[in-house]
Chains A and B, each alone.
Chain A
Amino acid sequence: MVAVMTKALPRAMAAGLLALLAVPGLARPAAAPPSADEMIARAHLAMFYPGEDMRARVTMRLVSRAGGERRRELTMTRRDLQDGGEQRYFIYFHRPPDVRDMTFLVWKYPGRDDDRWLYVPAIKLVRRIAASDRRSSFAGSDFSYEDISGREPEEDTHTLVREEKTGARDAYVVESVPKDPGSVDFGRKLSWIDKATWLPLKEEYYDRRGELARVFTAEEVKAVQGFWTVTKRLMKNVQTGHSTEAVLSDVRYNLKLAPDLFSERALRAPPAELTR
C-alpha cells in the first residue's frame, strides 16, 4: 500500500514518508514498545500475579536511621481468582513473639476496598479490619498494603519517560501520576521496568511537593519454576532514613491451594505447612 501511495505522491512527500518509516518503532511493528499503560499492566501482572497461587516465607528487617533493627517473619500465601483481578492472601506470623500465631486474611477486589480479617490467638478472636486506606503500613514496615498486593494500574496516568539501563538490565522508565491526588500519599512515581522480565527493578515515589520520599529496589531476582520473582526487596524512606528489607525464601508457585485456606476456618486453625 505504501508503494502504491508513493507512486501517486510527489517525491518530496514520498521522501518524508520514507523518513517516517525509518523510525525504528514504525519500521518494525513487531518490536514496537508497548504503550506506557501496557508496560505498567504487564509489570503489575509480573510482580503480583505470577502463577495461579504461591507461597513464600518472608523475613522483613526494619532498620531505623539509628541502626536499630526489628524483624518480622511470616508465611504468605496468595491465590488468584483471575489474572489481574480478584485475589486472596493468607498470612501467618512467626515472629516477633507478640504477634506469633496471628493470622491475617485479605480478600482483594479491584476497584473497591479489601475485606480484611485478623485473628488474635490469645483470645480466639476473629476481628474485621477497616481497610479504607491501602497506603497504611504493613506490619509497621516501610511497605504499604498496596506495595505488597499491588496498586491498580488504572488508578494512575502513565507516561514513558525514557529507556535506560539500571544495573546491567535494560529498562523502561515510566512516570505514573495518580488520577485522584487526594487518595494517595505520593504525587508521582517513577518505575524502572525490566524489558526482559517486566518486573519493576526500581521505583521512586515523590511526595506532593515533588521531593523524593521512598525508593523501592529489587535487590535480587530469581526464576522460580519459570516465574521471575523478586526474592529480595528493599523499601527505603529517604526522608526518615527508615528502611525495610524483605527476603522471600521457599517460594513455590502453583501449589493448587484449596479455596478453604482463605476462610475463617484457616484463620482459626492454620494448616501445619504454614506454621512451621
Chain B
Amino acid sequence: MKCSLFVVAGLLVTAAAGGVAAEEPLPIHGFLQAASAYRLLRPDACPRTQRLACEEEFVLGEGRARLEVEPRGERWGLTVKAELIWDAVAGEVDGDLREGYLDLRFPALDLRAGRQIVTWGVGDLVFINDVFPKDWVAFVSGLPLEYLKKGSDAVSATGHWRGTSVQLVLTPRFEADTLPEAGGRLRFHDPMAAIEARRTDDPSPSLDHLESGLRVFRNLAGWDLSLYAYRGFFRAPAAEVEAGPRLRFFFPPLDVWGASAQGAALGGVVSVEAGYHDSRADRSGRNPAVENSSFRFLAGYQREIVPDLTASGQYYVQAMEDHAAYRRTRGPGMARRPALRHVLTLRLTRLLWHQTLRLGVFALASPNEGDWYVGPEARYQITDAWSATVGVNAFGGPRRSEFGQFEGNANLYAAVRYAF
C-alpha cells in the first residue's frame, strides 16, 4: 500500500487545485500521531527467519502525519487522505495514500473511483463477507483499529431504486492482506521456516484477474438486509515448495456468496451473517497448499446495559468442506485444523466523563482450538484536538493456531494524537 512521496504530494496538489475550483475555501484536516508498542514477551526459541522479531523490543515505534483534503460540489467530491510515516524502529520514512478517490453523484447512482476502503458485513473483528484487504500487522502491532482496513484501487458503482441499492465494486489491481512475514518485526507460525528463498506471484495486473464484488441491500421493516457475491482471490497467500528449494507464495481464486441481516430486537441489536467460501482451485480439498472451501456463520447481539455501558457478544463458526481430504494431505509441521472452528467474542465499552474517557475490552476465543486474543484499551480525549490511548494486545493458544501464533507479539501500546 506504500507509494512514493511524489505520488502523495502530487495528489495533494491536485486535491488542492480541486479545492480552488470549489466555491468555498478548502479546509485542510488531518492529524499528527506518535505511537509505540512494547513487546511484553520474549521468545525462548526463534526460527532463523524471525530473528529480527525475536530481538526487537518494540513492535511499533512511529510518527505519522496525515493530511486530508476533501473538496466537494453538489454532484462531485474528491477525497485525498495521505500520510507521511516515520518508522523510528527501522529508521525509515515513507508515504502512504490511505484513500484517494473521486465521487460522482447522479440522481439514482453513486460512482466512486480510486483508492477506497470498502467494508461489508456485520461482524465485529470477524469477517465473512468483508473480503476486502486488511492489514493484520497494523492490528497486531497496536495501531488504531482503523488501520486494520486497507484501501482497494477500485471503481464502485451503487445504484438506488425504490429503497433497494445495488453496489458493484471492480478491482483491477489485487491488494493482498498485510501479514507478518519472514524478516519482519512480528512472530508468527512459519511451517517452512527452513526455506529462506521465497517469491510471491501477484495476480495483478492482468485484466482477466479483475476482482468483482456485488452487494444488494435494503431496509425492510427496520432490518438491514444484504446479499453479497464476490469473485476474486484469497487475500492470504498459499505456499508451495518449488525446485531450489524455494517457497512460492500465490493467491488462489476464491468466490464468496453470502447474506446478512441486522436489526433491533430483544432490547438490543441482533446481527446474523452467513457465507460460503468457494475455493475454486481446490474443490476436492486435496491440494495441501490451498485452503478448502468453507461455510461460515455468525450471530451477534449488542445491548446498552446502562447508559454509556454497552456489551456485545458474537458466536462464529467455520465449517471446512472435505475435511477428510484435508487431513490426508497435511505434511509435517503443518497446522491441523478441526472440521469446525468455533469462536466466541465479547466486547464491553464504558464511556465516562461526558464520553471523553472510553474504557473498552475486546476478547475473542476459540473454545475448540484453544487460541485467544484479548485487547483492553483506554482512550482519553484530553481536549477536542488531543487524545491519548493506551492498551494491550495479548494472544495465546497452540502455536500453530490463528491467534496462538502471535503470542510472542503481545504488546503494551500507547498513542498520542493531535487532530485538526
Residues of A within 8 A of B (CB): 62, 64, 70-71, 95-98, 100-101, 107, 113-115, 122-126, 128-133, 135-137, 139-141, 185, 242, 260, 263-265, 269, 272, 275-276
Contacts of B31 in A (CB 8 A): 97
Judging by beta carbons under 8 Å apart, are A130 and B304 in contact? yes
Partner of B110, one of A122, A133, A265, A272: A265
CB of B91, distance to nearest CB on chain A (Å): 28
Set of chain B residues within 8 Å of A137, measured between Cβ atoms: 307-308, 354-355
Say yes or no: A70 contacts B383, CB within 8 Å.
yes
Proximity bits, B90-116, A CB within 8 Å = 1, else 0: 000000000000010100001000001
The answer to whether A124 touches B304 (Cβ under 8 A) is: no
Chain A CB within 10 A, most for which of B73, B269, B303: B269
The answer to whether B355 and A130 touch across the interface, beta carbons within 8 angstroms, is: no
CA distance A132 to B308 in the complex (A): 11
Contact call B74/A272, Cβ cutoff below 8 A:
yes
Report which of B160, B262, B304 forms a contact with A132, defined as CB distance below 8 A: B304
- Given A96-B385, A265-B165, A275-B72, A123-B304 contact (CB < 8 Å): no
**Residues of chain B contacted by A276 (CB below 8 angstroms):** 24, 72
A129 to B351, CA, bound (A): 14
Knowing that A113-B267, A126-B224, A130-B310 touch, tell me 12 more A-B residue pairs with CB under 8 angstroms.
A97-B31, A98-B387, A115-B222, A124-B118, A130-B302, A130-B304, A132-B304, A140-B351, A263-B163, A264-B165, A269-B110, A272-B73
Q: State the Cβ distance, A249 to closest chain B Cβ, in Å.
A: 17
Docked CA distance A128–B110 (Å): 22
Contact A140 B354 (CB under 8 A): yes
Task: State the 4 A-B residue pairs at the shortest beta-carbon distance, nearest first.
Answer: A140-B355, A97-B419, A96-B384, A122-B146
Instruction: Evaluate whether A272 and B72 lie within 8 angstroms (CB atoms) in the complex, with A62-B354, A98-B387, A135-B307 already known.
Output: yes
What are 16 contact pairs spanning A and B, CB under 8 A? A70-B384, A107-B222, A115-B222, A115-B264, A128-B224, A128-B263, A130-B268, A130-B304, A132-B268, A263-B163, A264-B217, A264-B224, A265-B158, A272-B73, A272-B74, A276-B72
Known: A107-B222, A137-B354. A130 touches B303 (CB 8 A): yes
- Residues in B whose Cβ lies below 8 Å from that of A100: 29
Chain A residues contacting B77 (CB-CB under 8 Å) are 269, 272
B286 to chain A, nearest CB (A): 38
Q: Is there contact, CB below 8 Å, between A124 and B116? A: yes
Shortest CB–CB separation between residue A104 and chain B, in angstroms? Answer: 14
Q: Distance (Å) between the CB of B183 and the closest chain A CB? A: 29
Chain B residues, Cβ within 8 Å of A130? 264, 268-269, 302-304, 310
Do B384 and A265 have beta carbons less than 8 Å apart?
Answer: no
Question: How many chain B residues have a CB neighbour from A under 8 Å?
Answer: 53
Q: What is the 8 Å Cβ interface bit string for chain B, positions 28-41, against chain A (1 contact, 0 not)?
A: 01010000000000
Please give the residue numbers on chain B whose beta carbons come within 8 Å of chain A beta carbons, in ascending order: 24, 29, 31, 70, 72-74, 77, 103, 105, 110, 116-119, 122, 145-146, 148-149, 158, 160, 163, 165, 217, 219, 222, 224, 262-264, 267-269, 271, 302-304, 306-308, 310, 351, 354-356, 381, 383-385, 387, 419-420
- Tell me which residues across on chain B come within 8 A of A242, comparing CB atoms: 354
CB of A21 to closest CB in B, whole Å: 52
Complex Cα spacing A49 to B70, Å: 34
Majority secondary structure of chain B interface residues (helix, strand, loop or mixed): strand
Select from chain B the residue with minimum beta-carbon distance to A113. Answer: B264
Contact status A97-B165, CB under 8 Å: no
Give the residue among A100, A107, A130, A141 with the most B Cβ atoms within 10 A: A130
In the assembled complex, the Cα of A132 lies from the Cα of B312 at a distance in Å of: 13
**Shortest Cβ gap from B294 to chain A (Å):** 24
Chain A residue at smallest Cβ distance from B384 = A96
Residues in B whose Cβ lies below 8 Å from that of A185: 307
B384:A97 contact, CB within 8 angstroms: yes
Closest residue on chain A to residue B303 by CB atoms: A130
Interface centre among A128, A129, A133, A139 (most CB of B within 10 A): A128
Measured CB to CB, the closest approach of chain A to B200, in angstroms, equals: 26
Residues of A within 8 A of B355 (CB): 137, 139-140
Contact across chains for B119 and A125 when beta carbons are under 8 A apart: yes
- Nearest CB in chain A: distance from B359 CB, A: 15
Nearest A residue to B146, CB-CB: A122
Q: Is the CB of A98 within 8 A of B381?
A: yes
Distance A126 CA – B165 CA, assembled complex (angstroms):
15
Residues of B within 8 A of A101 (CB): 70
Identify B271's interface contact among A70, A96, A125, A128, CB under 8 A: A128
Task: Give the CA-CA distance A264 to B120 in the complex, in Å.
Answer: 13
Complex contacts, A136 vs chain B, CB 8 Å:
304, 307-308
Query: How many whole Å from A65's CB to the nearest CB in chain B?
Result: 11
A69 to B: closest C-beta gap in Å? 9
Q: How far is the CA of A49 from the CA of B302 in the complex (A)?
A: 31
Q: Are B304 and A133 within 8 A (Cβ)?
A: yes
Please determine whether B307 and A97 come into contact, CB atoms closer than 8 angstroms. no
Check if A123 sits within 8 Å of B117, measured CB to CB.
yes
Q: How far is the CA of A254 from the CA of B81 in the complex (A)?
A: 36
Q: What is the chain B residue whose CB lies nearest that of A142? A: B354
CB atoms of A140 and B307 under 8 A apart: no
Q: Give the docked Cα–Cα distance between A85 and B348 (Å).
A: 34
A135 to B306, CA, bound (A): 10
